[in-house]
Amino acid sequence: MSKLSQSFRVGTALLTLFTLALPPQVLADNAALLKLFEIMKAKGSITQEEYDLLVATAKEDSAKDVPSASPAPAAAPAPAVASVESYPTEQRLQQMEARIAETEAEMKALDAHIAESRKSLAELDKLSAENPKDLLEKMLDGKWYENLSFRGYAQFRYTAVYGDNGGDLSVPNDRSVSDMESFMIRRGRLVLSGDVTDHLYIYAQTDFAGSTGSGDYALQMRDLYADIALDADKEFRFRVGQSKVPFGFVNMQSSQNRAALERPDALNSAVEGERDIGAYFYWAPKEKRKLFSKLVKEGLKGSGDYGVFGIGAYNGQGLNRGDLNGQPHYVARFSYPVEFSNKQIMEFGIQGYTGSYVSRVSSIPGVGTPASPEHGNKDERVALSYILYPQPFGIEAEWNWGRGPQLTDDMTAIESTSLQGGYVQASYRIKDGQAAWLPFVRYNHYDGGRKFGTNSPWDRVTELDIGLEWSPRPEIELALMYTHTFTRTNTSTAPYNDVEDVDRLGLQLQWNF
């Protein structure tokens, strides 16, 4: 009921009460007032019960005051004055007071309801002016399970190898490079992530094609970690669990964003699989965190937010492997992006780690099992990174130097020896509405040990990649890459020979969801 109609009803009730209080002579003699009662009833201003009460009261009091039949006096008597007894009885007064109290209570309840409605309307007006995303976050506030997101991507790949000795070519991180392979799912990632609270973020990623060796496909845990923020803007946070080791830009860069089909050996040989179990501390100012996010969302091939500065410790034995010597690796990384007035973005980085790595060993035909220190060999590197994001021209360049486990030339022992290598990649990004084209060329060189391979064999790689990535829509990417191998060591099988002058062509379809 509206406030106007409610007020009208209250007024009518008060009029009724007032009428009940009138002297009976007025009720008896005023036919116009009785007619008014009929009109009020017809319009719904008073109820039938109230109408009957008013009429009955008027008739009853009128009957009391009608004089009995008697001879007319000689002189007209003086007009009678209404006595106190002719006014409403004590019962009628009590009824009137009760009705007034009722009406006042209804008015108070109505005022409270109106005030609450105005408050709700004001809140709705305020929320309607906010960003839809912010509004959704407020609606879901307190429901942590509603803040989790489920996403992923998949890569369907075909690789053809050309050359007389192409059958001996072995690429550790790409099982599709083989005469015995045809179609394959290189990656099938599913990610569950989100903010459980303002200070706790969780991330879990599985891979339905995790095996890169000679085995069958496998379901593999890639990431399982928690970010514990120390402040509301999450500028200071700890990351605990299995996650990427902060070493190298290309290792941090997701395969979902990278243009080339695989990471270069020079940087990836530091942490094959890019992940390990450990704990890290990350720091980045709020504006830099936004910039890291922008570089990924706008398709500029960013690495993601791993802080401007990161430091921590990890097992050092690789993805999904436990520690073997009780001596963690220690790592630190500094990477600083800068956005210029012309919107061009550059990033400079330096990183390094140190530890001892325990090599996996097995017998070599004609030689035996190589000797290796029980607690591992010294494993340490430092790397420099420079990235000019493709707007439209882009450059990626990283190089690392250090020492690591490597099989000796006579294959009898594993020792810590020097290593070095890196890559340089140039690209050009062309935007056409939703579609994007990214031609690129990359030079990859590495000379050192492949510590994650059985017996940590020596590894020499020199390759040139020429490719084109086409994304007609954000959810679909098609990549074509030609690779010429000048030299690549077959690190999978002793005697670990070099394979030279081999060509291969890779075609990959990726869908994001």
Task: List own/partner pairs for 31-35 with CB under 8 A and 24 or more apart.
Answer: 34/58
Q: Rounded to an integer, what distance in angstroms lies between the CA atom of residue 450 and that of residue 245? A: 17
**Residue 218's pLDDT is what?**
79
Mean pLDDT check: name the lowest of 202-211, 234-243, 371-380, 469-478. 202-211
Pairing of strands 275-283, 309-314: antiparallel
Question: What's the pLDDT score for residue 406?
Answer: 98
Q: Which residue has the tokens 């007009």?
A: 79
On average, the pLDDT of the chain sits at: 86
SS (H, E, C) 186-197: EEEEEEEEEEEE
93 vs 233: which has the higher pLDDT: 233
Q: For residues 374 and 28, what is the distance between their CA atoms, to the nearest angstrom?
A: 120
CA 437 to chain centre: 27
Please choose, from the candidates 271, 227, 278, the residue with its C-alpha nearest in 3D space to the C-alpha of residue 247: 271
Percent of the chain exceeding pLDDT 70 equals 81
Instruction: Give the number of C-alpha atoms closer than 13 A to the C-alpha of residue 180, restricted to the C-beta side.
Output: 8
For residue 62, is pLDDT > 60? no
CA separation for the pair 24, 56 (Å, rounded): 11
Residue 18 has pLDDT above 70, yes or no: no
Asked, as a colleague might, if the bond just before 67 is cis with ω within 30 of 0, I would say no
Return d(Cα 392, Cα 431) in angstroms, integer.
Answer: 9
Take residue 403 and report the two structure tokens written for it: 């020492």
pLDDT at res. 207: 94
Handedness of CA 117, 119, 125, 130 (dihedral sign): negative
CA 203/CA 218 separation, integer angstroms: 20
Report the pLDDT averaged over residues 243-267.
Answer: 97
At 132-141, the pLDDT tens digits run 666 666 665 6
Q: Tell me: pLDDT of 21 over 60.
A: no
pTM over 0.75: no
pLDDT band of 227, cuts 50, 70, 90: very high
| 240 to 187, 229, 411: CA distances (angstroms) | 24, 11, 38
Backbone angles phi, psi at 116, to 5 degrees: -65, -40
Stretch among 148-157, 172-181, 224-233 having the lowest mean pLDDT? 172-181
pLDDT at 76 over 70: no
pLDDT value, residue 437: 97
> What DSSP assignment string belongs to 148-160?
EEEEEEEEEEEEE
Interior CA angle at 289 toward 285 and 290, to 5°? 120
Instruction: Say if residue 50's pLDDT is above 80.
Output: no
pLDDT band per the 50, 70, 90 thresholds, residue 70: very low
Is residue 69 predicted with pLDDT exceeding 70? Answer: no
CB-CB contact of 405 with 433 (8 Å): no
Three-class SS state of 73: coil
Choose the weakest-confidence range: 15-29, 123-137, 287-301, 372-386.
Answer: 15-29
Nearest-CA neighbor of 171 among 424, 450, 440?
450
Average pLDDT over residues 206-226: 79
pLDDT (0 to 100) of residue 237: 98
> Beta-carbon neighbour count of residue 342 at 10 Å?
7
- pLDDT of 357 above 80: yes
What SS3 string covers 222-277? EEEEEEEECCCCCCEEEEEEEEECCCCHHHHCCCCCCCCCCCCHHHHCCCCCCEEE
The 3-state DSSP class for residue 120 equals: helix
Confidence of residue 108 (pLDDT cuts 50, 70, 90): confident
Calculate what percentage of the chain has a pLDDT beyond 90.
64
Q: Is 100 exposed, middle or buried (0-12, 13-18, 19+ CB in 10 A)?
A: middle
pLDDT at residue 312, as a whole number: 98
pLDDT at 302 over 60: yes
Cβ pair 276, 318 in contact under 8 A: yes
**Least confident interval from 78-87, 436-445, 465-474:** 78-87
Task: Return phi, psi of residue 451, to 5°.
Answer: -65, -30
* Res 106: pLDDT: 83
Minimum mean pLDDT range among 29-33, 288-292, 340-344, 390-394:
29-33
DSSP 412: S
Q: Grade residue 142 by pLDDT with cuts at 50, 70 and 90.
A: low
> Around 254, how many Cα atoms within 13 Å sit in the side-chain half-sphere?
26
Secondary structure (DSSP) of 435-469: EEEEEEEEEEEEEEE-TTSTT--EEEEEEEEEEEE
Name residue 345's amino acid. Answer: I
* Mean of pLDDT values over 235-245: 98
Encoding tokens for residue 390? 């493709």
| Token pair for 271 | 């942490």
